[in-house]
Structure 1
Amino acid sequence: MFKCLEGVLKNLESIRAAFVWGSNETNKKRVWIKWLNLMASLEKGGLNVGSIKAFNISLIQKWRWRLNIASDSLWAPVVSSIYGSDGGVFNQSSRGKSVWTNITTSIRDMHSKNIIPLLTLRKRVRNGNTTKFWKDNWIGEARLSDRFNCLAHLDTNTDFLVCDRFINGSWSWDWIRNELGSCNTASFSTMLTELSNVSLGDQYDIWYWSIASDGSFAVNSTISHVDNVMLPSLSPAMFWCKVIPQKVNVSMWRLGVDRLPTRLNLSVRGLEINSISCPVCSSNVESQDHIFFCGEVTDHVWFKIRR
């Protein structure tokens, strides 16, 4: 429910990294790859470990999803009555600090950093019976009340539903004054153009989470999205074979990013060794290219494999 502090996240990730590398307080192991790179997805060249921060962000976003989906539960109407129908997500609450304002502040922060935009959650209008015309995300790049603010304030009821204004295949309006004014008339014309393709059916309106392929919120897919936005990419991404053992896949991945403990790599990382020459041929530096591709013994091995 709470946004985890950066210092806490850093300590938790340090514990995870130490476990992976087999380190403890008395025995520090050599770290071959940055933990950020390990957490990245397979498509970005990582090991798809995932970050705790993405998990925390996903759980916070889940509260926004539940507020709209579980509107008949006991807590959702209470939150809506205190902070507004959108739960205070779009507008900063003036009610001071609370558990819920911490959640909405985190959601707006993710929007400002373009991690999870507010429009990720929007309404798909079908019959218009549960979608608020002005206040819900259902058409365009923002709520109509934000894009056509003056028109929204000229309406006699800003809480009306889409079906209340779409009657017999055309839009019906109820303004607080007869003349809208030249500027508002131009805005009204723009809005009507945007609404010209809207048509209503018989099915119920649904909330849609654009990150997920099926439109339904899932913590796992949201974690993957957040990690893909925040974590770095390694080049190139490796193809993972499900047939061979996982440890073989990991070894091949380390080969691809040149992080195997060859004598050359150990020397580069400050480990004092007597020689960096290959112990087999003694004529070349023991690098991963020499071991796997260029060595004399390697050539014989690949020749027998090809046969």
Structure 2
Amino acid sequence: MRRFLLSGSSVERKISWVAWDVVTTPKVEGGLGVSRLQCINEALLLKWAWRFKNAGEKRQQNDRDLNSYFVGVVGNGSSINFWGDNWIGNGPLRKQYPNLFRLEKHKWATVASRVQFVDGVKTLAWEWRRNPSTNEEVSELFVLLSAIYDHQWENGDDCWKWEGDKDGIFTVNKAKKVIADRQMPANVSKLKWVGWTPLKCNIMVWRANLKRLPTRVELVKRGMQLNNELCPLCDADQETSTHLFTGCLFTSEIWSRVGAWCRQSPVFAFDISDLLMLADNQTKTKKEIQALRGIIYTAMWSIWNERNDIVFNNKSLRAIEVVENIKLSSFFWIRHRSRLKDQITTTTHRKPKPTMAALEYLESLRTSHPELSEWYTTLADLYQRKLWHQLTLKLEQFVALAVFQAGDALIQLYHNFITDFETKINLLKLAHFAVIVSRQYSEKEAAISYLEGVIEKLRATKESRIEEPILYIKMQIAVFNLEKGDQKGCKNLLEDGKTTLDSMTDIDPSVYANYYWVSSQYHKSRQEFAEFYKSALLYLAYTSVESLSDSFKLDLAFDLSLSALLGENVYNFGELLAHPIVKSLLGTKVEWLYYILEAFNAGDLVRYQELCRVHGASLSAQPALVANEQKLLEKINILCLMEIIFSRPSEERTIPLSIIAERTKLKVEDVEYLLMKSLSVHLIEGIIDQVDGTVYVSWVQPRVLGIPQIKSLRDRLDGWVGKVHTALTSVEAETPDLVAS
């Protein structure tokens, strides 16, 4: 026992993680329930004392301390000590009335010698050293007399009751419990032990709850020297028991997946005690609560083992693999160590037979479309074998076929086939299918009604993380609202979607992409160019360009280019030119727009004016460009100013206004306005000297550089290296002895 709990011996001493007082505390009070030898010994001694009491034998003096565990039931009063035994009130009378006890001549007097019955009336026969006279003595005497007269006497001989049990019957086990309770430490956190998980698992959770696991912080507290105290699972914070089980990012993913598996709401725990109370906070049956509590303990056990594998064996698993281990251990233990297995049912044990209507529908399609016979055969086979994941992947390819892009073929496929298993597949994939199907409805209201029905089905599943598929579908409803001209309805859905996104983690990229695409279309409809530009770029951040059609890429590239030119405070054209989608403009009728972007990025006013002259007809065909001609000229002048600053060495940042006027083809007074505008939008920082007609620029906003700008930067670095080399050569020539030494 000592080696197991303390890992020590008579030769060496190892770390004791939990105080012995806590180890010996009963399980229900938060301890481990290990019995103290002292408690067992005293309980066995009490057994003999009990026999002595009830046998009427003479008690020895060293038994007097044990008397407090017994309550005398007075019969004739001949074997019960009046002052020393516990027979009336709370404890011996010598402790309740110490002033009277000091006046007593015969300290070992029996009850019979002090309380006598004369004609059925109790009389007291005192033998005092002197009569009670002080206030304290008289007061104690009145209280004692009242207690004696009210006390009920039993007929027959005296007997004894055991105070540790309501039945008054003595057992060694009850005696040991009473003694242990009196020695129990205060403020021990209680733990509910789970019978179907192994003892080693319960003990590990018990230690974690007491913060007594050998985490790195605890080891350092106990004098061990470690390289660092960081959590080995995330390397982000100090490894404490609380961080390991509730604060670690790796662990958070595990709890999220375990919660989804148990069909629980998202797990939020700030301390280990929060984790241990999760099961009690559920409105479920007792058996379900017991099962959930055991799964939580199993998860903590698996997390601790994963931590040890990383530290001692240099092994690591992904969170999803740890969750699989939790599932396997839980099923194994609950099946072989409990009676709960009869209460645990899963979908794998209750597989319904395939619906004939779905199979008949596929058969009818195979007959009417023989060219797709192989597709329908594969779908039917996967459906019958309940291979939902493989069926989902096949459906993704199937619904993308050109033959289904017209008419209502996908609507029929959904209502006659997909609805039969829609809640068995990945719910986000179901949302993807639903959005594709909704686009085949000719009436927007019908499409919205259909999507709202799918949302209700998703909510009815009560699965965790249904916010993702619901948000994905709501964004398509927002698109339909926008197409109907209901901008307010679209905006409300976007605002709700933003709130949902901000409250979630680990969101699928398709959900982000859908949200930002709808946001971009909303801003496009309102001609909010800067907001469209930001939303469209965020959409591309979550979307593979290769997955987009050529026509879609061309349209999006065109819209992005216009919004970059016309958007307020959009001056970093390099980030757009660096994106592959803008290359879609090349080789098309709107190729000129790409070259205008390059001119703006380079701040090349001459090049821009030349392009306007050559492509005047194309520019005139864009009303937004015509209406904002002056703003475009101002923007390229600002970019020209930034290019002038960027091209000058850092020690030559005091620039005459005349040079800027020459490059921008502006008057000097207009240059001052240009500088004020640049300062106001935080593109540059500096001081304008109107007396000397100069501007000193201390900072210019960083931006994405193009190839020509990078080459210019390289040339400047080469020039700087040349100057350093020249200075070094000069020093060597003037002080050869110093250099040689």
**Shorter-normalised TM-score: what interval?**
0.5 to 0.7
- Judged with a 3 Å threshold, the aligned counterparts in structure 2 of structure 1 residues 18 and 231 are, in CA distance, closer, same or farther, namely farther
Q: State the Cα deviation string for residues 236-261 of structure 1 (Å, max 9, x = none).
A: 22222334322221111111111112
SS at match of 1:166: strand
Counterpart for residue 221 of structure 2: 268
Determine whether 1:87 maps to 2:42.
no
State the Cα deviation string for residues 65-116 of structure 1 (Å, max 9, x = none). 2211123xxxx3xxx2xxxxx433xxxxxxxxxxxxxx44xx54xxxxxxx6
The alpha-carbon deviation at position 301 of structure 1 amounts to 1.3
Q: Which residue of 2 aligns with 1:246?
A: 199
Q: Does residue 1:171 correspond to 2:122, yes or no?
A: yes
Whether contact under 8 Å (2:24, 2:33) holds in the other structure is yes
The one-character-per-residue Cα deviations of 1:163-215 (angstroms, maximum 9, x if unpaired) are x9335542257789xxx9786xx687665433322344557642012133332
- The structure 1 residue matched to 2:16, chosen from 26, 31, 41, is 31
Say whether 1:68 aligns with 2:53.
yes
> Does structure 1 residue 46 correspond to structure 2 residue 43?
no
1:128 to 2:76 alignment: yes
Secondary structure of 2:71's counterpart equals strand
Letter matched to residue 16 of structure 2: V
Alignment CA distance shift 1:266-1:70 (3 Å):
same
Structure with larger Rg: 2
Q: 2: CA distance between counterparts of 1:173 and 1:276?
A: 74
Partner Cα distance (1:151, 1:24) in 2: 55
Aligned residue among 274, 277, 300 for 2:253: 300
Q: Is the 8 A contact 1:209 1:215 kept in 2?
A: yes
1:25 deviates by 4.8
Residue 238 of structure 2 is aligned with which of 285, 294, 304? 285
- Separation in structure 2 between the aligned mates of residue 279 and residue 119 of structure 1, nearest angstrom: 54
| Structure with the higher fraction of residues in helix conformation | 2
**Counterpart Cα distance in 2 of 1:27 and 1:65:** 43
Structure 1 unaligned segments of length 5 or more: list them: 1-15, 81-85, 89-102, 109-115
> Cα gap change, 1:60/1:287 in structure 2, threshold over 3 Å: closer, same or farther?
same
Q: Considering only aligned residues, what root-mean-square deviation do their CA atoms show, in Å?
A: 4.0
Is the 8 Å Cα contact of residues 122 and 149 (structure 2) preserved in structure 1? Answer: no
Q: Match of 1:128, as an amino acid?
A: N
Relative CO higher for 1 or 2, CA cutoff 8 Å, sep ≥ 6? 1
CA deviation map 1:14-42 (0-9, x unaligned): xx533433433566543222223212233
Cross-structure match for 1:138: 87
Q: 1:204 to 1:305 in 2, by over 3 A?
A: farther
TM superposition shift of 1:305? 1.8
Where does structure 2 lack aligned partners over 5 or more consecutive residues? 261-741
- TM-score, normalising length: structure 2: 0.29
Pair 1:28–1:168, CA change in 2 (3 A): same
Secondary structure of 1:123's aligned partner: strand
Q: Could you tell me the percent identity over the aligned residues? A: 24
**For the residues of structure 1 that align with 2:201 and 2:160, how far apart are their CA atoms?**
43
When the two structures are superposed, what TM-score results if normalisation uses the length of structure 1?
Answer: 0.63
Q: Secondary structure at the match of 1:165?
A: strand
Give the secondary-structure state (helix, strand or coil) at the position aligned to 1:196. helix
